[in-house]
Structure 1
Amino acid sequence: MLWILLAFLSATLLGFYDVFKKLSLRNNAVIPVLVINTVVCNCLFFPFIISSAVEWITPDESFFIPELGSRAHFYVILKAFVVLSSWTCGYYAIKHLPLTIVGPINATRPIMTLVGALLVFGENLNLWQWAGVLLAILSFFLLSRSGKKEGVNFSHNRWIFLLVLAAILGAISGMYDKYLMSTIHLDKLFVQGWYNFYQMLLMGLVMAFLWLPQRKRTTPFRWRWSIVCISLFLTAADLAYFYALSLPGAMISIVSMVRRSSVLVSFLFGAFIFHEKNLRAKFFDLLFVLLGMICLYIGTC
């Protein structure tokens, strides 16, 4: 199944995306990093929007982005708002939490998407897929136990709260993507290109009215080349993701779950590059996430 393979490709790219976020945000201001991220993502797609509008790219070419009217733009603006809210919460969380905790918690995000998929789209899971979901749930509780050994109390830590909020908003975004792709059939490049543009506008407003007036009283901004890599890997991951969702038979609950296998990449970098602690217990917790991914793959093939 091509869509499941694209989901795994997206997962690998997302793992490196998390690594570059951690590298960029260490002792750095969050809002400017987000702004640069949205600007670079927009620069990757806006030339295709312009080229399509002036017919330098024709409808029969791969990167043609159609103009779909004001209603479609409203849908995309709503997506940009949800995604940007999730990013903001997630960026602050990943700045202050170990990557070996952030990754596994993010890996449980599709459980929320699954509930929505069952309720809204009527998707049905087989026994293998249910086994994968239950293993992912178990991994979350095991991870909360491991986090306490590092002084990260899941019930009283504001960064954990922001990470969970980011996960909830990310799950809502995943459900909304399925709606845009399969229910109202918006073009995947239209969605990705224009939501990057609207995100850039929204972040520009946040920076102008919230960060700039307070910048001298907060963490200063430091330029790093890893900031650009955030956008490059995210864009590639999203391309694979949107293409997977646009294929016949693609299930948002499974695509979202598989994408969370990106935790393997981020966990390895957290262990060997950032030298994070309590790795043995966290690796045991991570195994349940990976076993869940395997169960989902078997149940889908």
Structure 2
Amino acid sequence: MSWLFLTVCSSALLGLYDFFKKLAVRGNAVLPVLFGGICAGGLAWLPFVVWSALSPESLPHPSLHVTAISAQEHGLLLIKSLIVVASWIFGYIGLKELPLSIATPIRATSPVWTIAFALLIFSESPSMRQWSGVAVILASFFLFSFAGRKEGIHFHRSKAVYLIIAATLLGASSSLFDKYLLQSVGLNPTEVQAWFSLYSVLAMLPALWWWRSRTDRQVFQFRWSIPAIGLTLLAADWLYFTAIAAPDALISIIAPVRRAATVVSFTLGILLLKEPFRVSKGLAVLGILVGVFLLA
């Protein structure tokens, strides 16, 4: 399969991933939903971790081989898990309160924050085209604020919006940490994905214990969309890493195509969840996607 086809499939799965999250958290306790999705991802990787340790030569595909890593590398992956789990907690709580057609496009602004962090940490210098992309994305973000106001959501004083923004900032910092792990430390994508999936279960336990200790906690209902969250994310990431590994793959195409997941989740929110103000939101989504392409 071509790397472009793999990227398109990864993007579609990411859109479904956001949709499954919204289905799982509506009227449900957020933290157990998140823990269930994380456990689904961890359980999917656990057999391959054990398999790799006992009989690596019998694995069905080299990309499933989870090689041994040092204690320091385990520590770095635990840190990554803590960052991402914090991002997920903020994002899930915000997603529960906001329409899907508003929450996921806000998350799609993460390239702006990644560039900002790259400027501060790695002293990178974006081009004029990339600065134009930043401007278009920020303008589209403000357009979303007007669309949200029609639904009674005031961006400047909405706790849910601030939580989504916090989740986006943490996600952007995780992307830069991934760059460090893969390029500077020298870990491969399988090692990162497998151990991160397992450590995320551990990172989530304190938050779950806190939820269990509360007397006013919301009732948790298991739904089929909960394991679907973890499995669709795993599949999307696996396709993404496989696409990047292709010798002729162009990251300048892969990155913006993957961000098109926003179109999938936005469309599902409008068509299946019957969310309103589709025209103004659609224009803002289009603006964000144009900005992402300029950034690529």
- CA gap of 1:61–1:241, structure 2 versus 1, over 3 A, is closer
User: For 1:276, what is the secondary structure of its paired residue?
Assistant: coil
Question: Which residue of structure 2 aligns with residue 47 of structure 1?
Answer: 47
- CA gap of 1:212–1:253, structure 2 versus 1, over 3 A, is farther
Given that 1:26 and 1:95 are in contact with CA atoms closer than 8 Å, whether structure 2 keeps it comes out as yes
Question: Which residue of structure 2 aligns with residue 229 of structure 1?
Answer: 228
TM normalised by structure 1 equals 0.88
Question: Which residue of structure 1 aligns with residue 183 of structure 2?
Answer: 182
Question: Deviation at 1:244?
Answer: 5.4
Q: Aligned equivalents of 1:121 and 1:175: distance in 2?
A: 9
Structure 1, 49-58 or 124-133: larger mean CA deviation: 124-133
Q: Please give the per-residue CA displacement for 1:76-130, whole angstroms capped at 9, x wherever unaligned.
A: 0000000000000000011110011112111111110122234444555555444
Question: Which residue of structure 2 aligns with residue 292 of structure 1?
Answer: 291
Q: Aligned equivalents of 1:133 and 1:8: distance in 2?
A: 24
Given that 1:117 and 1:252 are in contact with CA atoms closer than 8 Å, whether structure 2 keeps it comes out as no
Alignment of 1:5-20 (within 5 A): 7-20=7-20
Q: Which amino acid aligns with 1:20?
A: F
- CA gap of 1:40–1:129, structure 2 versus 1, over 3 A, is same
Given that 2:114 and 2:176 are in contact with CA atoms closer than 8 Å, whether structure 1 keeps it comes out as yes
Q: Aligned equivalents of 2:179 and 2:97: distance in 1?
A: 31
Question: Deviation at 1:217?
Answer: 1.7
Question: Which residue of structure 2 aligns with residue 101 of structure 1?
Answer: 102
Question: Which residue of structure 2 aligns with residue 116 of structure 1?
Answer: 117
Question: Which residue of structure 2 aligns with residue 31 of structure 1?
Answer: 31
Q: Which amino acid aligns with 1:61?
A: P
> What is the number of equivalent residue pairs in this alignment?
294
- CA gap of 1:86–1:263, structure 2 versus 1, over 3 A, is same
Q: Which amino acid aligns with 1:113?
A: T
- Counting aligned pairs with the same residue, the percent is 38
Alignment of 1:142-161 (within 5 A): 142-161=143-162
The runs of 5 or more residues in structure 1 that have no matched partner are: none
User: For 1:93, what is the secondary structure of its paired residue?
Assistant: helix
Question: Which residue of structure 2 aligns with residue 269 of structure 1?
Answer: 268
TM normalised by structure 2 equals 0.89
- CA gap of 1:246–1:61, structure 2 versus 1, over 3 A, is closer
Q: Please give the per-residue CA displacement for 1:48-71, whole angstroms capped at 9, x wherever unaligned.
A: 111111124469833111111101
User: For 2:223, what is the secondary structure of its paired residue?
Assistant: coil
- CA gap of 1:15–1:250, structure 2 versus 1, over 3 A, is same
Structure 1, 80-89 or 186-195: larger mean CA deviation: 186-195
Q: Please give the per-residue CA displacement for 1:205-233, whole angstroms capped at 9, x wherever unaligned.
A: 322x211122x522211111011111111
Question: Which residue of structure 1 aligns with residue 85 of structure 2?
Answer: 84
User: For 2:155, what is the secondary structure of its paired residue?
Assistant: coil
Q: Please give the per-residue CA displacement for 1:261-297, whole angstroms capped at 9, x wherever unaligned.
A: 211001101111111112121112112123234445x
Given that 1:108 and 1:260 are in contact with CA atoms closer than 8 Å, whether structure 2 keeps it comes out as no
Question: Deviation at 1:252?
Answer: 8.2
Q: Aligned equivalents of 1:252 and 1:211: distance in 2?
A: 40
- CA gap of 1:250–1:184, structure 2 versus 1, over 3 A, is farther
User: For 2:156, what is the secondary structure of its paired residue?
Assistant: coil
Q: Aligned equivalents of 2:136 and 2:248: distance in 1?
A: 24
Q: Which amino acid aligns with 1:211?
A: W
Q: Which amino acid aligns with 1:85?
A: A
Structure 1, 74-83 or 106-115: larger mean CA deviation: 106-115
Question: Deviation at 1:17?
Answer: 0.3
Q: Aligned equivalents of 1:13 and 1:132: distance in 2?
A: 25
Say whether residues 1:162 and 2:163 are aligned partners: yes
Q: Aligned equivalents of 1:99 and 1:5: distance in 2?
A: 26
The runs of 5 or more residues in structure 2 that have no matched partner are: none
User: For 1:217, what is the secondary structure of its paired residue?
Assistant: coil
Say whether residues 1:69 and 2:67 are aligned partners: no
Question: Deviation at 1:255?
Answer: 5.8
- CA gap of 1:155–1:171, structure 2 versus 1, over 3 A, is same
Structure 1, 106-115 or 238-247: larger mean CA deviation: 238-247
Structure 1, 50-59 or 252-261: larger mean CA deviation: 252-261
